[in-house]
Amino acid sequence: MEKAVSVIVPVFNGENTIKRCIESIQNQTLSDIEIIVVDDGSEDNTLSVLRAVTDERVKIISQSNTGQGFARNRAMEEAEGKYIAFVDSDDTIESGMLEAMYERAEKDNSDVVQCNILDIYPDGRTKIQIVTEDETVKITDKGEYSDLYFTPCRHSYEVCNKLIRRSVIERAGLKFRDTKKYFSEDLMFNLEMISHIKTISFISAPYYNYYQNENSHLRQNEEKRLVSLCDLFRTYISDADAVMKSAASYTAAMIIIYNAGFCVENHMETAKSVLSGKELKGYIRDALKRNCKLKHRIFLMLMYIMPVKIKLAAARKYSGRWRI
C-alpha cells in the first residue's frame, strides 16, 4: 500500500548521530511514512545501532560502500511513498516538517516542495540558510526559472530540504551521480530535475536542521571540490538542451568563483588556473546574456576583465561571507 512519504537516509560511519536522526523522523506528526536507511558499508557500530530500532516503518538496507549518491539510488528503488524526502544521517528534522510539506504538495499539486534550512554550528550559533518567501511557482520557462530561483539559490542546491513527487523522479529517470566523482551530486540532481517539474512550492520555515562541522562533506578537500565542480558543470552543460546550457552557465560561473575563493589560501595555483581559464570566461560570457541580478552582473563583469590578482582577492572575499 502506498505511503504518503518515503524518507531516505544514507549513512556511513554514523554511529554517533544516526539514532538522533532517525528519532527526529519517527517523531513526525505525519505518521504515514516509511523510513529507508541505507548502511553504506559502515566500519563502525552504525549497523548495530540501526538493528536496535524497533519500528516497523524503518527498513534497513546494508550494502558495501558505494557513496551517498548511489546509496540514495538504492533506496529509491525500494521506495513506495507518493513523495520522497531525503535526510542526511548527521542532521535532524523538525516534528512538523513532513506534514507541512505533504499538505502543501497536495494543496498546490506541486511536484516539489522546499522548506528552509537552519544551519547549526558547533558553538551553538544558528543561521537560517535561504532567503525565500512562502510561494508557489508555475514553471513555464525553465531558463527564466533558473535565472530567478536556482542561480540565486532561492531554489537551494540541496535535496535534504525537498519533498519530491516520486512519479516525477521515475518518469524522468532521475538518479544521483557518483558522489566519489562529482562531490556535489545534490547540485547535479537539482539541475537535472528543473527540466522535469512544473510546479514548486516554497516554505520559508526552517524545518531542516543542518549540523555544520569541520568534517562535513562540504568542507573536505576544497581543491578537490573545486576541480570536481568544474567537471560537473562541464558534464552537465555538454549534455543539456540549449536553454539549460545557457542558464546553467550563469549558475556555473557563480558557484565556481565561490568555490575558487575557498582555495585561494591553500591552493593558490589551482584557484588561479580556474579563475583565469577559458572555461570560466565562457560561462561568464553566457551568464551576462541571462537575466542576472544587477549585483551579479557587476561582479561577473569585474571577474571577466580584471587581472588575476584582483580576481583571487574578489573570489576570496565572496566565499568568505559563508565561512564559519
Please give the domain boundaries of the chain with CATH numbers for all domains.
3-217 (3.90.550.10), 221-320 (no CATH)
pLDDT of residue 324: 44
Question: Scanning the structure block, which residue is given the C-alpha cell 498546490?
Answer: 108
Name the packing angle between helices 242-263 and 185-194 (round to 10°).
Answer: 160
Cite the DSSP H helix spans in the chain. 18-26, 46-51, 68-78, 97-108, 142-145, 166-172, 179-182, 185-194, 222-239, 242-263, 268-275, 278-287, 294-305, 308-320
Q: What is the pLDDT of residues 17-34, one digit of tens each?
A: 999 999 999 999 999 999
pLDDT higher than 60, residue 218: no
Answer yes or no: are the C-beta atoms of 129 and 156 closer than 8 Å. Answer: yes
**3-state SS, residue 146:** helix
In this prediction, residue 215 has a pLDDT band, given cuts at 50, 70 and 90, of: low
Q: How far apart are CA 252 and CA 187, in angstroms?
A: 11
pLDDT of residue 159: 97
pLDDT of residue 322: 53
Q: What is the pLDDT of residues 242-280, one digit of tens each?
A: 999 999 999 999 999 999 999 999 999 999 999 999 999
Instruction: Quote the mean pLDDT of the chain.
Output: 94
Q: How far apart are CA 289 and CA 297, in angstroms?
A: 10
In this prediction, residue 2 has a pLDDT band, given cuts at 50, 70 and 90, of: confident
Q: What is the pLDDT of residues 76-92, one digit of tens each?
A: 999 999 999 999 999 99
Indicate yes or no: pTM above 0.85. Answer: yes
pLDDT of residue 321: 65
Of the chain, the end-to-end C-alpha distance in Å amounts to 45
Closest CA to 318 of 283, 248, 270, 271: 271
Where is pLDDT greater, at 293 or 142?
A: 142
Beta strand 162-165 with 199-211 is: unpaired
Q: What pairs with residue 210 in β-bridges?
A: 119
Q: What is the pLDDT of residues 142-198, one digit of tens each?
A: 999 999 999 999 999 999 999 999 999 999 999 999 887 777 899 999 999 999 999
